[in-house]
Amino acid sequence: MRDWWRGSVTYQIYPRSFQDSNGDGIGDLPGITRRLPHVASLGVDAIWLSPFFPSPMLDMGYDVSDYRGVHPDFGTLADFDKMLRVAHDLGLKVIIDQVLSHCAITHPLFAESRRDRTNAKADWFIWADPRPDGTPPNNWLSVFGGPAWTWDAGRRQFYMHHFLAGQPTFNFHNPAVQEYFLDVLRFWLDRGVDGFRLDTVNYYFHDVRLRSNPALPMARPPINPYDMQDQIHTKTQPENIGWLEKMRALTDSYPDRMMVGEVGDALRGIEVMGKYTKGEKRLHMAYSFEMLGDAHSARFFRKTVESFFAGAPDGWPCWAFSNHDVPRHAGRWTGRGRIEDVAKQSAALLLSLEGSICLYQGEELGQTDTELEYHELTDPKGLRFWPDEKGRDGCRTPMVWDESRHGGFTTGTPWLPVKPPQAARHVAAQEARRDSVLHAYRDILAFRRAQKVLRRGQTRFLDLPEPILAFIRWLGKEEMLCIFNLGHEAVTLQIEGVEGSVGPDHHAELDVTELRLGPNGYAWMHVGADLALRVR
């Protein structure tokens, strides 16, 4: 199916934390292969693997030193091929991370580039002379804090890095860099992967004039000074479109493949998502961080979805509430109700949205972040900004499978600890309880898969007061009402023109013309043209 990705559901696996097969405390590819039946049992369409490539692990694999290999901690290329075969046998597509904007400082390409100013790879990275006073060429900052420039004594120049000094940024203005990465993509496409998740997809190009970024007015400094700049010269450059089109042309030359891009832009994320997925020559779909934050209201969800489709009616979004970069939503939104109820309603809402969906491992358990102490951290963000910014380790702790030591993740010492609050939410216990979050996910995923209107239909929002979020998903003559009580208290609505409740509702009671939604309640209903709704 050429456009299988439209309306699909992808399950993100963080390899380091999914399943350890050899007792070294680190998850690996054989461990993933062992646990794929669990993923398939959820009813998702694909898996996305975070990086498993050779790396010095300064940023947990997002600093790649070999784009065509497998880090020994995770196994071998043969292990990858076996995992790919098993996934395909289970009906799962396989999407892998591609971290192209930057590499590890140990990558042979950077080693050659830094040797001198005249070698064959001299301009494969972003180099700049210092100002007369020895300072960097402009005010660009690193996402992880401090200047985006590091001095190299050999070349007597600064090199640029969006993230750590150990992650030098490639110069995509050089056509040879683009050709190199097209070959990398071919390597994995030839191996049989079904698509790519493109890390920092708007970071590939920079302003060649190296102009400084303007300041963003704010009342008080944020935790990270990076957020004090409008990053108009460091990313989201117009040249990026042409590069996306080259990658799309290559991907489309293979049958049934796709690309999903991560847009990192706090000010214009939804706008860039639309721009990058517009038409059929750029990304197949994209996601940004709008729904990965603390905002949680009917107005917010409506505005986010409507804004995307207003700006890109022919674009395609991928929505997520959690991933490896942000606190887990069951914990972020605990002020909205019991963790289990929030987790179930979040699944129902996310899986009702127009677009494609991404779930993060453990989300199907209602998993929460782990509270870590400073000495337990590995994430550079947490290490740099502790304790005001605790970093991303809390959402990356190991998957919990059963009641055994370390949650069945490893027989050794896990790379991050499995603590009691997380260990209590293990798979085995939830398998045994029909009212668990895990079973709710399976039920909702099965319902979405059976309803073409939820996978491919368009959306029309209804005007109702907070905390009620209601919208119609429609496809042809079929219309389905999706309704959610995002509040703490029960609400009652007068409702007409419904053909009855369908799907696995929660805290919802329909009595002829009256719908009662308890806290975190939700329901789906087939409706007719004479639908009428009002809060009683």
Which positions are catalytic? Answer: 199, 262
User: How many C-alpha atoms does 46 have within 13 Å on its Cβ side?
Assistant: 26
Instruction: Tell me how far apart the terminal alpha carbons of the chain are, to the nearest angstrom.
Output: 46
**C-alpha distance from residue 259 to each of 109, 196, 245, 474 (Å):** 25, 5, 11, 26
CB 318 within 8 A of CB 353: no
Residues 6+ apart with CB under 8 A from 446: 43
Cross-strand partners of 258 = 195
CA distance 77 to 53: 10
Residues 6+ apart with CB under 8 A from 523: 481, 483, 501, 503, 505, 506, 508, 510, 515, 517
Pairing outcome for strands 149-152 and 127-128: unpaired
In single-letter form, the type of residue at position 285 comes to M
Cross-strand partners of 474 = 458, 479
Q: Would you state the structure tokens that stand for residue 154, as one six-digit string? A: 């050999």
Pairing outcome for strands 468-475 and 458-461: antiparallel
Residues 6+ apart with CB under 8 A from 105: 56, 58, 63, 165, 166, 167, 168
